[in-house]
Amino acid sequence: MRILYAAGICLLLSNAATPQTPETAHNPHQRLNFDAGWKFHLGDIPETSESAANVPAAATPAFNDKPWRSLDLPHDWTIEGEFSQNNSTGQQEGGLPAGIGWYRKTFKLPATAKDKVYIDFDGVYRNSTVFLNGQELGKRPNGYISFRYDLTPWLKKGADNVLAVRVDNAAQPNSRWYTGSGIYRHVWLEIQPAASVTIDQWGILASTASLSERQGRLHVATTLRAIQGAQAVTIQQTVYDAEGRQIATGSLPYTVNDTLSTVQQDLVLTGPKAWSPDRPYLYTLETRLMLGPKLIDRQSTRIGLRDFHFDNRQGFLLNDRHLKIKGVCLHHDLGALGAAVNTAGMRRQLLILKEMGCNAIRTSHNPPAPEFLDLCDEMGFLVMDEAFDMWQKKKNKFDYSLDFPQWHRRDLADQVRRDRNHPGVFIWSIGNEIREQFDKSGIELTKELTAIVRANDPTRPVTSAMTEPDTLENNIWQAGVLDVMGLNYHQQIYDEVLQKFPGHPFLATETTSAEETRGHYDMPSDSIRRWPTSAKVPAVGVNRDYTVSAYDNVSAYWGSTHEETWRLAKRNPVVAGLFVWTGFDYLGEPTPYRWPARSSYFGIVDLAGFPKDSYYLYQSEWSSKPVLHLFPHWNWRPGEMVDVWAYYSQASEVELFLNGKSLGVKRKEGDELHVQWRIPFEPGVLKAVSRLRGKTILEEEVHTAGAPARLQLIADRTTLHADGNDLAYVTIRILDANGYLVPNADTQVSVDITGEGTLAGMDNGYQADLESFRGTRHKAFNGLCLAIVRAKKKAGRITLRVSGAGLPPASLDITSL
Ligand code: GAL
């Protein structure tokens, strides 16, 4: 009685304030998370069922999966393995094991016989085959695509059902970077009444038709799917602002005649708030499908209003204002967590990049997880959403080129339809460094793929990340259908792009490929190394400890240092923007080294999420905050000549002091991006002071450190959600007795977690570290180590105790709510 009464009040109150907010209205269409309670077996189960020929035994309800491991998704079995040179993935994919795995989930649904039930997989790497109660529902080779099956025909209402998924990542190599293996993204169950008309999956396309400070016009195209013709429905569109207030609504009666029909509507918003990286304002669009007075389907779409265009002279304009695209490329792995999707992990990456002043991400070279795009919308990142790394011509023996002929149309259309309402997504890339650019077959394929994108999203430009700058030789460009010239590297031609690609906007779709190991410095800092030097001279074993200097003085021959490319892109308005390869180090592709190097050196931030020095170069150039970054560390041999660099911004000069004595004032001259001193080392304190018109802006010190004496723990967050997924990233710093970071400490640390949390992984950011990410012990590297703590589903306190050889233990409490 009391509950009913309370509910009634609640309804009355919310009715009075905002009739039918997204939260209060009944939704016949439910989307349930389906991640919990799976069973997993690593390896194949080759036996077929006794009762049904050709059906794998592990797919049948009768199969005994009790001995299998219990787990919740998302799950990546590859990251759980041990590094080995003998793993079939090889060094390019990170040297961890791949293979075949099976997943099963037993579930009951209430006996609502009229419902339609779908299962949605956000992504399975790769070659998945899905079965329900022994019936094969389908296969999907592409490891990055989202897909759905209709469970309804084989579903037993009110009884046990068994869903089984075989994942086959055995054929190796199939990638140029770490992929992970398994059901590494979320799974959802969608339940809706078996109505004769519904809103089609990914059936809504909401776009900004026009935008001014006074008024915005939202165009909504809704695709309806009917199983029986000639029905009179009404489509209601309502827009709510971020506070849940209804601000626009419109209704359209429509007679459905065909299986698929698309209904066009316009809504006018007064005084709209435009979406931008600086103010990522989001609205919610509610689409309701009515049959008479009855609500038969309903969908909620988060949208942003923004207006943009490319200009071949001015670059990129967002909401009528010039915006340089300051982007980075990202692969999808989360370092020690592998490919298993985690919103807290992705948010941390994006927060670190946001602080740097980055405003755009290229999801190289595949469709990302949906949650990644949600975060980009919320946090203000433009996204170049990329489809493929290869078409018909392979880059690896068992890669997607084998599936391309049969699947590319479906995969590309599904990607575009899934992602087209994200305000952050501003351009589609139909491929990265596709070999068909050198072959006439590239012309027809480019036309076909571009047409697929346009048919599903006529509102955004299409590009491809190409490498051939000679337009006559480049068959993708020759197709004549791309909106934007997308070129990887070749920064030396930025000054000529107007002549080379007349009439077309230009985007540096991939740049730089500088290589660095955090905290390692090779002198002299001002001599630039190309590792490798050329395609013919590989740079193997260049530093015996598999490090690369972090002075921004090393790059691959096809790329440049960070400064070399940014200097050229910065001064040239014709270059709409750039995507630096890469924001974070990723597993695999450890150019310039062979084994035991197993993760990349290209990141501005290392694999553990610790910024390298070049992070502050970008921060000084891209962000609006004053920056002063002084490096390297100050632990050298007495008398050794050391190059000291400072990145700075919002100041006109920097003065350097060693043990209180001035070593002179330096200013960036011309297009310089840092200042440098070359001085003999003497232990003590190095101090930099940045000034503007005589006023001190910032000061920074680096101290000579003594031996490791204690541990310092710093968590990025100390309050977590008790949802089984939320994460705290705890940085473990090795300090000397005076509290200064010991810059070369490789102390072995052990982590013990008690209470309502578990250890999700450990890392130190060193590219040739072969310790498992899953151990409770890990060596620090150059003074730092990382422990990732995962909240359990139960609220409470989490205590982390860290000990390090010979050092007093340290502890930290995290609250999980
Ligand atoms: C590019 C390629 C990237 C990565 C990079 C390394 O050519 O598109 O995927 O391999 O080189 O420098």
C-beta neighbour count of 640 within 10 angstroms:
11
CA dihedral 81, 761, 102, 372 (to 10 degrees): -120
**If residue 563 lies in a helix (H) or strand (E), which one and from where to where?**
helix 562-571
Does the structure show a pLDDT above 90 at 274?
A: yes
**For the residues of 312-326, what is the DSSP string, one character each?**
TTTEEEETTEE--EE
**433 C-beta closer than 6 A to ligand 1:** yes
Tokens of 459: 């509102």
Does the structure show a pLDDT above 80 at 297?
A: yes
**510 C-beta closer than 6 A to ligand 1:** yes
**pTM of the prediction?**
0.96
Catalytic residue among 468, 510, 564, 621: 510
Pocket test for ligand 1, best of 429, 584, 589, 604 (most atoms within 8 A of CB): 589
- Distance from residue 395's CA to the centre of ligand 1 (Å): 12
Does the structure show a pLDDT above 90 at 11?
A: no
Tokens of 313: 């002279």
Does the structure show a pLDDT above 70 at 190?
A: yes
- Distance from residue 76's CA to the centre of ligand 1 (Å): 24
Tokens of 251: 């209704």
In 3D space, the residue among 698, 709, 600 whose CA is nearest the CA of residue 654 turns out to be 698
Report, as an integer, the average pLDDT of 614-633.
98
Pocket test for ligand 1, best of 362, 396, 433, 466 (most atoms within 8 A of CB): 433
Atom of ligand 1 nearest to the CA of 510: 8
Q: Which residues pair with 317 in a beta bridge?
A: 309, 322
Atom of ligand 1 nearest to the CA of 467: 7
- Distance from residue 644's CA to the centre of ligand 1 (Å): 31
**556 C-beta closer than 6 A to ligand 1:** yes
**600 C-beta closer than 6 A to ligand 1:** no
Does the structure show a pLDDT above 80 at 538?
A: no
Residue 800: predicted pLDDT: 98
Q: Which residues pair with 727 in a beta bridge?
A: 790
Residue 115: predicted pLDDT: 85
Confidence of residue 541 (pLDDT cuts 50, 70, 90): low
Question: Does 196 or 655 have the greater pLDDT score?
Answer: 655
**If residue 169 lies in a helix (H) or strand (E), which one and from where to where?**
strand 160-169
Task: Pick the residue whose CA is nearest to atom 12 on ligand 1.
Answer: 513
Tell me how far apart the alpha carbons of residues 781 and 716 are, in angstroms, rounded to a whole number: 19
Does the structure show a pLDDT above 50 at 24?
A: no
Residue 62: predicted pLDDT: 95
Does the structure show a pLDDT above 70 at 670?
A: yes
Contact between residue 476 and residue 437 where contact means Cβ atoms under 8 Å apart: yes
Report, as an integer, the average pLDDT of 540-556.
91
- Distance from residue 508's CA to the centre of ligand 1 (Å): 13
Average predicted confidence (pLDDT) for the chain: 94
Tokens of 783: 């003074």
**432 C-beta closer than 6 A to ligand 1:** yes
- Distance from residue 245's CA to the centre of ligand 1 (Å): 46
Report, as an integer, the average pLDDT of 1-22.
30
Contact between residue 602 and residue 582 where contact means Cβ atoms under 8 Å apart: yes
**649 C-beta closer than 6 A to ligand 1:** no
Tell me how far apart the alpha carbons of residues 242 and 285 are, in angstroms, rounded to a whole number: 11
Residue 113: predicted pLDDT: 62
Residue 19: predicted pLDDT: 36
pLDDT tens column, 110-138: 766 678 999 999 999 999 999 999 999 99
3-class SS of residue 718? coil
Q: Which residues contact 409 (CB under 8 A, 6 or more apart)?
A: 448, 452
- Distance from residue 449's CA to the centre of ligand 1 (Å): 22
Does the structure show a pLDDT above 60 at 212?
A: yes
Provide the total of helices (H) and of strands (E) in the chain, helices listed first: 9, 46
Residue 609: predicted pLDDT: 98
Residue 6: predicted pLDDT: 27
Does the structure show a pLDDT above 80 at 715?
A: yes
First to last CA, the chain: 30
Question: Does 54 or 126 have the greater pLDDT score?
Answer: 126
Tell me how far apart the alpha carbons of residues 739 and 810 are, in angstroms, rounded to a whole number: 14
- Distance from residue 53's CA to the centre of ligand 1 (Å): 45
Atom of ligand 1 nearest to the CA of 600: 6
Tokens of 518: 């955090």
**386 C-beta closer than 6 A to ligand 1:** no
- Distance from residue 9's CA to the centre of ligand 1 (Å): 59
**515 C-beta closer than 6 A to ligand 1:** no
Residue 266: predicted pLDDT: 98
Pocket test for ligand 1, best of 581, 585, 589, 591 (most atoms within 8 A of CB): 581
Q: Which residues pair with 299 in a beta bridge?
A: 287
Residue 54: predicted pLDDT: 84
In 3D space, the residue among 445, 510, 509 whose CA is nearest the CA of residue 477 turns out to be 445
Pocket test for ligand 1, best of 510, 585, 602 (most atoms within 8 A of CB): 510
**581 C-beta closer than 6 A to ligand 1:** yes
Confidence of residue 158 (pLDDT cuts 50, 70, 90): confident
Catalytic residue among 80, 93, 190, 433: 433
pLDDT tens column, 430-488: 999 999 999 999 999 999 999 999 999 999 999 999 999 999 999 999 999 999 999 99
Tokens of 174: 């199939």
- Distance from residue 602's CA to the centre of ligand 1 (Å): 10
pLDDT tens column, 220-231: 999 999 987 778
Atom of ligand 1 nearest to the CA of 364: 9
Atom of ligand 1 nearest to the CA of 465: 8
Report, as an integer, the average pLDDT of 264-292.
97
- Distance from residue 4's CA to the centre of ligand 1 (Å): 60
**For the residues of 141-187, what is the DSSP string, one character each?**
--TT--EEEE-GGG--TTSEEEEEEEEEE-S----SS----BS-S-E
- Distance from residue 510's CA to the centre of ligand 1 (Å): 8
Task: Pick the residue whose CA is nearest to atom 6 on ligand 1.
Answer: 513
- The DSSP call for residue 730 is E
**513 C-beta closer than 6 A to ligand 1:** yes
Burial classification of residue 56, based on how many CB atoms lie within 10 Å of its CB (0-12 exposed, 13-18 middle, 19 or more buried): buried
Q: Which residues pair with 710 in a beta bridge?
A: 735
Atom of ligand 1 nearest to the CA of 558: 12
In 3D space, the residue among 411, 486, 424 whose CA is nearest the CA of residue 453 turns out to be 411
Tokens of 807: 């050092």
Does the structure show a pLDDT above 80 at 1?
A: no
510 is a catalytic site residue: yes
Report, as an integer, the average pLDDT of 265-275.
98
Task: Pick the residue whose CA is nearest to atom 3 on ligand 1.
Answer: 581
Contact between residue 509 and residue 488 where contact means Cβ atoms under 8 Å apart: yes
Residue 114: predicted pLDDT: 74
Tell me how far apart the alpha carbons of residues 786 and 779 are, in angstroms, rounded to a whole number: 10
Tell me how far apart the alpha carbons of residues 375 and 254 are, in angstroms, rounded to a whole number: 35
Does the bond joining 632 to the residue before it have cis omega, within 30 degrees of 0?
yes
Tell me how far apart the alpha carbons of residues 282 and 423 are, in angstroms, rounded to a whole number: 8
Residue 26: predicted pLDDT: 65
3-class SS of residue 794? coil
Tokens of 319: 């909401």
Report, as an integer, the average pLDDT of 313-338.
97
Tokens of 565: 């490319």
Tokens of 63: 């199969």
- Distance from residue 85's CA to the centre of ligand 1 (Å): 22
**If residue 566 lies in a helix (H) or strand (E), which one and from where to where?**
helix 562-571
**734 C-beta closer than 6 A to ligand 1:** no
**585 C-beta closer than 6 A to ligand 1:** no
Residue 788: predicted pLDDT: 98
Contact between residue 132 and residue 59 where contact means Cβ atoms under 8 Å apart: no
- Torsional sign, CA 31, 37, 41, 45: negative
Task: Pick the residue whose CA is nearest to atom 11 on ligand 1.
Answer: 513
C-beta neighbour count of 126 within 10 angstroms:
26
- Distance from residue 432's CA to the centre of ligand 1 (Å): 9
Report, as an integer, the average pLDDT of 507-527.
97
Confidence of residue 518 (pLDDT cuts 50, 70, 90): very high
Q: Which residues pair with 220 in a beta bridge?
A: 206, 265
Atom of ligand 1 nearest to the CA of 589: 10
380 phi and psi, to 5 degrees?
A: 85, 65
Listed range (136-140, 193-197, 559-563) with the worst mean pLDDT: 193-197
- Distance from residue 687's CA to the centre of ligand 1 (Å): 38
Atom of ligand 1 nearest to the CA of 365: 9
C-beta neighbour count of 538 within 10 angstroms:
15
**286 C-beta closer than 6 A to ligand 1:** no
Tell me how far apart the alpha carbons of residues 233 and 256 are, in angstroms, rounded to a whole number: 7
Tokens of 315: 């670059």
